[in-house]
Chains A and B, each alone.
Chain A
Amino acid sequence: MSVLVNKDSKIIVQGFTGSEGTFHAQQMIEYGTNVVGGVTPGKGGQTHLDKPVFNTVSDAVKETGADVSIIFVPPAFAADAIMESADAGIGVIITITEGIPVADMIKVTNYIKDKKCRLIGPNCPGVITPGEAKVGIMPGFVFKKGKVGIVSKSGTLTYEAADQVVKQGLGITTAIGIGGDPIIGTTTKEAVELLMNDDETECIVMIGEIGGQLEADAARWVKENGNKKPVIGFIAGETAPAGRTMGHAGAIVGGSEDTAQAKKAILKENGIHVVDSPAEIGKKVAEVLRG
Chain B
Amino acid sequence: MNIHEYQGKEILNSFGVRIQRGIVAHNAKEAVDAAKELTEQTGTGWHVIKAQVHAGGRGKGGGVKLAKNLKEVEEIAGQIIGMNLVTPQTSAEGKKVHQVLVAEDVYYPGDSEPEEYYMSVLLNRATGRNMVMYSTEGGMDIETVAENTPHLIFTEEIDPAVGIMPFQARRIAFNLGLSGAAFKEMTKFVIALYTAYEKSDSSLFEINPVLKTSDDKILAVDAKVSLDDNGLYRHKDYAEMRDIREENPVEVEAKKVGLNYVDLDGNVGCMVNGAGLAMATMDLIKQAGGEPANFLDVGGTADAKRVEEAFRLILKDENVKAILINIFGGIVRCDRVAQGVVDAYKNMGNINVPIIVRLQGTNADIAKELIDNSGLDVQSAVEFQEAADKVQAVLA
Count of A-B contacts judged by CB separation below 8 Å: 164
Chain B residue nearest to A154 in the complex (CB): B276
Contacts of B272 in A (CB 8 A): 156
Assuming the contacts A155-B274, A180-B275, A250-B125, asked whether A139 and B361 have C-beta atoms less than 8 A apart, the reply is yes
Partner of A160, one of B201, B229, B264, B384: B384
Query: Which residues of chain A (260-278) have a CB below 8 Å from chain B?
Result: 260, 276-278
Give residues in B with beta carbon < 8 Å to A. Answer: 123, 125-126, 128-130, 143, 159-161, 198, 201, 203, 228-231, 233-234, 260, 262, 264, 266, 272-287, 291-292, 295, 297, 328-331, 360-362, 383-385, 388
B391 to chain A, nearest CB (A): 12
Partner of B160, one of A107, A238, A247: A107
Assuming the contacts A106-B128, A236-B283, A237-B283, asked whether A137 and B201 have C-beta atoms less than 8 A apart, the reply is no
Partner of A163, one of B280, B285, B361: B361
Chain B residue nearest to A212 in the complex (CB): B125
- Do A157 and B128 touch (CB < 8 A)? no
Interface centre among A207, A234, A240 (most CB of B within 10 A): A240
- Do B282 and A100 touch (CB < 8 A)? no
Query: Which residues of chain A (38-53) have a CB below 8 Å from chain B?
Result: none
Partner of A102, one of B123, B277, B331: B123
- Do B123 and A182 touch (CB < 8 A)? yes
Chain A residue nearest to B281 in the complex (CB): A278
- Do A236 and B280 touch (CB < 8 A)? yes
Query: Which residues of chain A (86-126) have a CB below 8 Å from chain B?
Result: 99-103, 105-107, 109-110
A257 to chain B, nearest CB (A): 11
Chain A residue nearest to B231 in the complex (CB): A101
Q: How distant is the Cα of A99 from the Cα of B201 in the complex, in angstroms?
A: 13
Contacts of B262 in A (CB 8 A): 241, 244, 246
Chain B residue nearest to A183 in the complex (CB): B128
In addition to A106-B129, A109-B129, A239-B264, 5 A-B residue pairs with Cβ atoms within 8 Å of each other are: A153-B276, A156-B330, A234-B280, A250-B125, A277-B388
Partner of B384, one of A247, A276, A278: A278
Contacts of B278 in A (CB 8 A): 246-247
Q: How distant is the Cα of A22 from the Cα of B66 in the complex, in angstroms?
A: 62
Q: Which size bracket describes the interface of A in this complex? A: 35 or more
Contacts of B128 in A (CB 8 A): 105-106, 109-110, 183
List 19 A-B pairs, Cβ < 8 Å: A99-B230, A103-B228, A110-B161, A137-B331, A155-B276, A157-B276, A157-B280, A159-B328, A164-B384, A180-B275, A213-B125, A213-B126, A236-B279, A238-B282, A238-B286, A239-B282, A247-B278, A251-B279, A278-B280
* Contact of A1 with B by CB under 8 A: no
Q: How distant is the Cα of A109 from the Cα of B52 in the complex, in angstroms?
A: 37
- Do A182 and B125 touch (CB < 8 A)? yes
Contacts of B291 in A (CB 8 A): 239
Contacts of A152 in B (CB 8 A): 276
* Contact of A289 with B by CB under 8 A: no
Interface membership of chain A positions 269-291, coded 1 if the CB is closer than 8 angstroms to chain B and 0 otherwise: 00000001111100000000000
Q: How distant is the Cα of A102 from the Cα of B328 in the complex, in angstroms?
A: 29
Q: How distant is the Cα of A105 from the Cα of B276 in the complex, in angstroms?
A: 22
Q: How distant is the Cα of A76 from the Cα of B232 in the complex, in angstroms?
A: 11
Interface membership of chain A positions 145-159, coded 1 if the CB is closer than 8 angstroms to chain B and 0 otherwise: 000000011111111
- Do A160 and B234 touch (CB < 8 A)? no
Assuming the contacts A75-B230, A103-B231, asked whether A238 and B125 have C-beta atoms less than 8 A apart, the reply is no
Chain B residue nearest to A160 in the complex (CB): B328
Contacts of B231 in A (CB 8 A): 101-103
Contacts of B384 in A (CB 8 A): 160, 164, 278-279
* Contact of A210 with B by CB under 8 A: yes
Chain B residue nearest to A98 in the complex (CB): B230
Assuming the contacts A180-B276, A183-B125, asked whether A249 and B283 have C-beta atoms less than 8 A apart, the reply is no
A242 to chain B, nearest CB (A): 10
- Do A279 and B284 touch (CB < 8 A)? yes
Q: How distant is the Cα of A142 from the Cα of B284 in the complex, in angstroms?
A: 22
Assuming the contacts A163-B361, A277-B385, asked whether A207 and B330 have C-beta atoms less than 8 A apart, the reply is no
Contacts of A106 in B (CB 8 A): 123, 128-130, 160
* Contact of A138 with B by CB under 8 A: yes
Assuming the contacts A155-B274, A160-B360, asked whether A103 and B198 have C-beta atoms less than 8 A apart, the reply is yes
Q: How distant is the Cα of A259 from the Cα of B272 in the complex, in angstroms?
A: 21
Q: How distant is the Cα of A241 from the Cα of B266 in the complex, in angstroms?
A: 12
Partner of A248, one of B161, B276, B280: B276
* Contact of A55 with B by CB under 8 A: no
A164 to chain B, nearest CB (A): 8
Contacts of B280 in A (CB 8 A): 157, 160, 234, 236, 278
- Do B201 and A240 touch (CB < 8 A)? no
- Do A239 and B286 touch (CB < 8 A)? yes
Chain A residue nearest to B327 in the complex (CB): A156
Chain A residue nearest to B262 in the complex (CB): A244
B27 to chain A, nearest CB (A): 31
* Contact of A27 with B by CB under 8 A: yes
B53 to chain A, nearest CB (A): 15
* Contact of A209 with B by CB under 8 A: yes
Q: How distant is the Cα of A219 from the Cα of B130 in the complex, in angstroms?
A: 25
Contacts of B287 in A (CB 8 A): 276-277
